[in-house]
Amino acid sequence: MSAIKDSKDVLRQGAVRTIERRAFLKQGLSLGALTLLTGCDVTDQDSVQTALNAISRWNDRVQATLFSNRLVPTYPESAAVKDFRSNQYYGEDAVPKIEGSSFKLGLSGLIDNRKPWTLPELYALPQTSQVTRHVCVEGWSMIGKWTGVPFRTFLERIGADLSAKYVGFECADGYYSSIDMASALHPQTLLTFKISDETLAPKYGYPLKLRVPTKLGFKNPKWITAMYVTNRFSGGFWEDRGYNWFSGI
Amino acid sequence: MNTDERGTVKVHPGVVRVTHWINVVAIAIMIGSGWRIWNSSPIFDFSFPVAATIGGDPATSQDVHNELGLAGALQWHFAGMWLLVVNGLVYLVYGIWSGHFRHALFPVSPSAFLRDALAALTFRLPHRLGVYNAVQKALYLGVLLAGIVMVLTGLSIWKPGQFQELAFVFGGYDTARLIHFLGMSAIVLFLVVHIALVIIVPKTLPAMITGRAAAHAPEILQESAG
Ligand code: HEM
């Protein structure tokens, strides 16, 4: 508000000067006042944040429209990094150490057969391997080899409602995330048990990590303990902290 | 050029002026937020000062999200891209369709560039408002090319899966990321020169805002540094 008042004062001073000079000042000042006014808006945290969130939702929709079942590039096995980088929002020594023999994957939501799955049951499912690029939201990327069951196969096996909108995940470290059904059904989306041909080490998400090569790394939850199918949007750990929800690549 | 009742002539079309100043805002958003995104995983061993970056208060992000405001920077970057692209398309379509590019930015021959660059370096380059010299033409065409490369490499690293052909054209994800950074550097370099020229020939600024300059005013034909 004060920007308008100040510029009016200055404009009044400008009026006593020569005609050309005033015309120049007027133009310059209205531009200046405009930037000051928008400056006011920029400091108004709430409305700016609301606008940015709305644009992020819009970007979700744009990405869902762009999304197709086309495969992301795959690489020769020799390109796969053995000592893969592991990211979590706490120190590496604090990663969950899950006891495999007593582990059960919990299922809920729009799923016909919600009986929990043990590891031997999961390992008995048809498995496949893929060498794809993991792209981190921070900007780095790394090629790795993952092995597991195509997620679509698993969703069909448990009788999930494939017309539902979302699949969500709960993880042993309190992390949670959710993805759109189209990405969940993508042929390269795997529920993985292995990285670099070895059972997932604790830091890589033992016993279960969802590999979604069509999405940024943080949309690839590790240490999955439960999953659900739903039509209700349920966000995610980083998504609720401002990161784009769809985060497709 | 027609002189109006106030004795001024039109030197910059309205669409060019409006899109130019919107572009200044868009570029500021893209560079400011881009620098913070860079800081989260730099390719080379340096970071931009956080105070020069855009994306909300980093201290709050540190406390609430345990990160230095990357989320906010990404939100700004992927909002700013729409402003940059839509505004840029309006400018490009107008520039091609109206003949503005043909008149204002072409032709620019290497010999004219050398001649004008030499004249500029010896402070003997005349500046006529609304008429760009060969050095300016080359700089503007260069920055327009840089802008197009930025959008295309940006799409390549935003969607290296869905737009894999595009990413391939730019040498894959990592190379596209590097080109995206180099393109930013080129635009910043352009800006240093561009703003320096405006400071040396300040009368160009009001004309770029109002679109008009005094007709027959001595400065239109006067020799000046530039
Ligand atoms: C505060 C920053 C800026 C100022 C003060 C400024 C000022 C100006 C001025 C005065 C002109 C007219 C030059 C003349 O008549 O000889 C001009 C033209 C131009 N500027 Fe800027 N500019 C700024 C930022 C930018 C940015 C960020 C870009 C692009 C990345 C840009 C690209 C251009 C282009 C392409 C033209 C020629 C436009 C045409 O005629 O089609 N400028 N600028």
Return averaged pLDDT per consecutive 10 residues of chain B, 226 residues in all: 69 96 98 96 94 88 77 96 98 97 91 90 82 92 98 97 96 97 98 94 92 66 38
Amino acid at residue number B182: L
Give the chain A residue nearest B76 (alpha carbons). Answer: A52
Helix (H, G, I), strand (E, B) or coil at B83: helix
Residues in chain A with CB shorter than 8 Å from the CB of B72 are 52, 242
- The predicted model scores a pTM of 0.85
Answer yes or no: CATH 1.20.950.20 is held by domain B8-225: yes
Using most ligand atoms within 8 A of CB, pick from B9, B16, B19, B20 the residue to mutate for ligand 1: B20
The pLDDT value given to residue A188:
98
Domain ranges of chain B: 8-225
Q: Does residue A137 register a pLDDT over 60?
A: yes
Q: Do B162 and A67 touch (CB under 8 A)?
A: yes
- More confident call, A183 vs A89: A183
Select from A47, A140, A212, A240 the residue whose CB has the most chain B CBs within 10 Å, as the one to mutate to test that interface: A140
The pLDDT value given to residue A46:
83
Minimal Cβ distance to B71: which of A241, A248, A249: A241
Give the CATH H-level superfamily of domain A1-249.
Oxidoreductase, molybdopterin-binding domain (3.90.420.10)
The ipTM value here is 0.87
Q: Does residue A154 register a pLDDT over 60?
A: yes
Residue A119 to chain B, least CA–CA distance (Å): 31
Residues in chain A with CB shorter than 8 Å from the CB of B40 are 138-139
Residue B76 to chain A, least CA–CA distance (Å): 7
Render A148-209 in DSSP notation, one character per residue: EEEHHHHHHHTTB-TTSSEEEEEETTS-EEEEEHHHHTSTT-EEEEEETTEEPPGGGTTT-E
Residues in chain A with CB shorter than 8 Å from the CB of B210 are 23, 27
The pLDDT value given to residue B60:
78
Please, are residues A142 and A81 in contact by the beta-carbon 8 Å criterion?
Answer: yes
Restricting to B residues 87-146, those with a Cβ less than 8 Å away from any Cβ of A are none
Q: Do A59 and B78 touch (CB under 8 A)?
A: yes
- Say how far residue A155 (Cα) sits from the centre of its chain: 21
The pLDDT value given to residue B206:
93
Amino acid at residue number A47: S
Q: Does residue A201 register a pLDDT over 50?
A: yes
Ligand 1 binding pocket (C-beta < 6 A) is: B 16, 20, 23-24, 27, 104, 129, 132, 136, 140, 143-144, 187, 191, 194-195, 198, 204-205, 207-208
Amino acid at residue number B206: P
The pLDDT value given to residue B6:
67
The pLDDT value given to residue B63:
76
Query: pLDDT digits over A21-55, tens only?
Result: 334 334 444 444 444 444 444 455 689 999 999 99
Q: Do A249 and B161 touch (CB under 8 A)?
A: yes
Q: Do B206 and A24 touch (CB under 8 A)?
A: yes
Residues in chain B with CB shorter than 8 Å from the CB of A45 are 56
Integer Cα distance of B39 and B57 in angstroms: 15
Q: What is the residue with the minimal CA distance to atom 38 of ligand 1?
A: B16
What's the CA dihedral at B204, B208, B210, B211 to 10 degrees? 100
What spacing in Å lies between the alpha carbon of B53 and ligand 1's midpoint? 22
Peptide bond into B107 cis (omega under 30): yes
Integer Cα distance of A147 and A134 in angstroms: 14
Q: Does residue A19 register a pLDDT over 80?
A: no
How many CA atoms does the CB half-sphere of A215 hold within 13 Å?
A: 28
Q: Which of A132-136, A238-242, B120-124 has the lowest mean pLDDT?
A: B120-124
The pLDDT value given to residue A6:
37
Q: Do B159 and A31 touch (CB under 8 A)?
A: no
Query: pLDDT digits over B69-124, tens only?
Result: 899 999 999 999 999 999 999 999 999 999 999 999 998 999 999 999 998 888 88
Residues in chain B with CB shorter than 8 Å from the CB of A72 are 160-161, 164
B161 in contact with A, Cβ within 8 Å: yes
Give the chain A residue nearest B75 (alpha carbons). Answer: A52
Residues in chain B with CB shorter than 8 Å from the CB of A85 are none
H-state helical runs in B49-170: 58-65, 70-97, 100-104, 110-121, 134-158, 164-169
Q: Do B214 and A20 touch (CB under 8 A)?
A: yes
Render A204-224 in DSSP notation, one character per residue: GTTT-EEE-TTB-GGGS--SE
How many CA atoms does the CB half-sphere of A121 hold within 13 Å?
A: 11
